[in-house]
Amino acid sequence: MKPRAASVTEAGDDDGWRPSPGWFAEIDNRGETRLVVSVPPDQLVAVHRALWTAMEAPHGVLWRQFVDRANPRPEGAKPIDHLAMEVPSDRLAAGIEAATDVIYEDARAELWIRGRHGDQVVLDADGLVYAYPDDIAFRDVLDRLGLPEGDIPTLAQRDYVKHWYHAEHDAKEAALLNALGLTRMAAR
């Protein structure tokens, strides 16, 4: 599995830093509790799936696209949100399985999955996973996966990060939007 992003030198060369598996709890800038999970790219699919499948269906799904390779926007433009509500677990799993490379190897978008009770799992452009709220159900999943809790360094804390946007994933992104019934939302 290729990474969505990697730590690099100021010149853009690989600096050798790799994420260590682990997680910690924090309060975000809105005052909400969450778990921050960092794993190497080869563990990302399994950890992400274990967390979102711990939530009760139906699911709300948000594909927050920051980079549109088909219709480039100026740097700093607002992301484009594609949203679906009441997505059954089997449809969500099939859509994610069919689009694994664009979801886990490409930094063009964040994937937000919300459970029936308002809990959510977010995969960000750096390949970090956030689970809201800090709940025993999410902690149990991480414990079963053998991920240690602790103050671990994450890619978000690195000085220079390179993100990848692969042309070969463009068709998979369109298929994902269609498979999950995601509707483009009006700009806010």
CB 23 within 8 A of CB 152: yes
Query: pLDDT-derived band of residue 188, with 50, 70 and 90 as boundaries?
Result: low
Q: Tell me how many domains the chain contains.
A: 1
Q: Report pLDDT for 76.
A: 82
Q: What is the mean pLDDT of residues 165-170?
A: 93
Tens-place pLDDT, residues 114-143: 999 999 999 999 999 999 999 999 999 999
Q: Which domain holds residue 54?
A: 5-184
Q: Report pLDDT for 70.
A: 81
Residue 65 pLDDT > 80: yes
Give me the chain's average pLDDT, please: 95
Computed over its alpha carbons, how large is the radius of gyration of the chain? 16
CA 69 to chain centre: 19
Q: Report pLDDT for 69.
A: 84
Kindly report the pTM of this predicted structure: 0.94
Q: Is 169 left (phi over 0), alpha (psi -120 to 50) or beta?
A: alpha
Query: How large is the greatest C-alpha to C-alpha distance in the chain, in angstroms?
Result: 45
Q: Which residues of 6-23 are buried (b: 16+ CB within 10 A; e: fewer)?
A: bbbeeeeeebeeebebbb
Residue 187 pLDDT > 80: no
Q: Report pLDDT for 75.
A: 82
Instruction: Give the residue among 54, 42, 7, 2 at the shortest CA–CA distance from 156.
Output: 7
Residue 1 pLDDT > 90: no
- Please report the DSSP string for 2-70 in residue order: --SEEEB-TTS-B----PPSEEEEEE-TTS-EEEEEE--HHHHHHHHHHHHTTSPSSEEEEEEES--SS
Residue 73 pLDDT > 90: no
